[in-house]
Amino acid sequence: MGELFESIIEIVRRTSSEIPKDVGQGIIDALEAEKKGTIAESALKIIERNIELAQEKSQPLCQDTGSVLFYVDCPIGYDQISFEETARRAVTEATNRGYLRQNSVDSLTGKNDGTNVGPGAPAIHFHQHQADHVEVRMILKGGGCENVGAQYSLPNTQLKANRDLEGCRKVILDAVVQAQGKGCGPGILGICIGGDRATGYEHSKIQFLRKLDDQNENPELAELEENILTTANKLGIGPMGFGGNTTLLGVKICAANRVPASFFVSISYMCWAFRRHGAELERGGKIKEWLY
């Protein structure tokens, strides 16, 4: 079926079954931070064992293999239509091979045809770049964590949140408290300050392409990320909401311009089973190197 087809299946397989190194390290650190003999510690031990097992068996880390999101950086003139056709076939084949659950439901009829392909599924975001190679990144985002995402419009009277970074901090921390353990914590937040409702959420998810240990180039946002992470981990929500020291593993924030009348803060929550991988492809579509 061609090299691109096989490469995409391999990217799906790896994304579904192997946690990226930076996230794996976060889990190890979290385990050290929890008190011995607590249910928080035992939850993290099960999580650690699960990460090992999934990789050994090439089976999904989490049974909710989520929304299938592609982020494709491609050269000018790249044939996006044929990429999309190949990607759709590859997603169905990856489902047949058990790397993805039959997870895509017709919203009107409730039917699940088992292909994981339909209107809007998978979601493919193309971006042209000046380089002459193709990079394919993938995120599989489960429904549990997607459901605890939140979008706030500032000012927010109830939370006393004004249109400034302090207001952003208040609504982000509120989202953490509202989520409790329902998003399968310890979680990672992707946040966009500004934008419209749609682009705000879109940019918040793009933050998940960043490695957990990277540094935000904007010093104000870097400080806010650190502040949210430290504060959230003082709230005692803990792994799975069982109570404990690790509520979040990371916080990634970007800003987008807004219109004067709107000030949205869009927060996406990623579960500990953070499925993100990517690869640079050779000209023929073969995987050249992994990106995470």
Partner 1 sequence: MTNLTTPLTEEQVRSLKVGDPASISGVIFTGRDAVHKYLYEGGELPEGVCLEGGVIYHCGPVVVKDDKGVWRVTAAGPTTSIREEPYQADIMKKFGVRGVIGKGGMGAKTLDGCNENGNVYLHAIGGAAQVLAEHIVKVRNVYFLEEFGSPEAIWELEVDQFPAVVTMDSHGQSLHDKVAADSQAALEDNL
Can residue 98 be called a binding residue for partner 1 (CB under 8 A)? yes
Q: How far is the CB of 12 from partner 1 (least distance, A)?
A: 13
Residue 11: which of 127, 90, 83, 96 has the closest Cα?
90
Can residue 35 be called a binding residue for partner 1 (CB under 8 A)? no
- Among 234, 257, 259, 261, interactor with partner 1 by CB under 8 A: 234
> Rounded to an integer, what distance in angstroms lies between the CA atom of residue 171 and that of residue 151?
9
Can residue 120 be called a binding residue for partner 1 (CB under 8 A)? no
Q: How far is the CB of 174 from partner 1 (least distance, A)?
A: 8
The encoded tokens of residue 17 equal 């079954």
Q: What letters, b where the CB count within 10 A reaches 16 and e where it falls short, cover 87-125? A: bbbbbbbbbeeebbbebbeeeeeeeeeebbbeeebbebe
| Closer by beta carbon to partner 1, 233 or else 266 | 233
Return the range that interacts with partner 1 (CB under 8 A); candidates 72-80, 85-93, 129-137, 143-151. 143-151
CA angle (75 as vertex; 77, 191 as ends), nearest 5: 125
Can residue 9 be called a binding residue for partner 1 (CB under 8 A)? no
| Closer by beta carbon to partner 1, 62 or else 136 | 62
- Among 25, 50, 151, 156, interactor with partner 1 by CB under 8 A: 50
Q: How far is the CB of 129 from partner 1 (least distance, A)?
A: 33
In this structure, the number of other CB atoms found within 10 A of the CB of residue 23 comes to 23
Q: In what order do the strands lie in the sheet with 264-270?
A: 150-153, 264-270, 187-194, 248-256
> Rounded to an integer, what distance in angstroms lies between the CA atom of residue 179 and that of residue 15?
25
Can residue 59 be called a binding residue for partner 1 (CB under 8 A)? yes
Can residue 162 be called a binding residue for partner 1 (CB under 8 A)? no
Return the range that interacts with partner 1 (CB under 8 A); candidates 4-12, 42-50, 74-82, 248-256. 42-50
Can residue 110 be called a binding residue for partner 1 (CB under 8 A)? yes
Residue 277: strand, helix, or coil: strand
Residue 39: strand, helix, or coil: helix
- Among 12, 240, 267, 281, interactor with partner 1 by CB under 8 A: 240
Phi, psi of 60 (to 5 degrees): -55, 130
- Among 208, 263, 264, 272, interactor with partner 1 by CB under 8 A: 272
Residue 190: which of 143, 151, 235 has the closest Cα?
151
> Rounded to an integer, what distance in angstroms lies between the CA atom of residue 137 and that of residue 279?
6
Can residue 36 be called a binding residue for partner 1 (CB under 8 A)? no
Counted residue by residue, the chain has a size of 292
Phi, psi of 30 (to 5 degrees): -65, -40
Residue 143: strand, helix, or coil: helix
> Rounded to an integer, what distance in angstroms lies between the CA atom of residue 266 and that of residue 196?
9
| Closer by beta carbon to partner 1, 60 or else 195 | 60
| Closer by beta carbon to partner 1, 119 or else 284 | 119
Tell me which residues in 173-232 interact with partner 1 (CB under 8 A). Answer: 173-174, 177, 180-182, 184, 231
Number of residues that bind partner 1 (CB under 8 A): 51
Question: Which stretches of the chain bind partner 1, using CB under 8 A?
Answer: 39, 42-43, 46-47, 49-50, 53-54, 57, 59-65, 98, 101-103, 105, 110-112, 114, 142-144, 147, 170, 173-174, 177, 180-182, 184, 231, 234-238, 240-243, 271-273
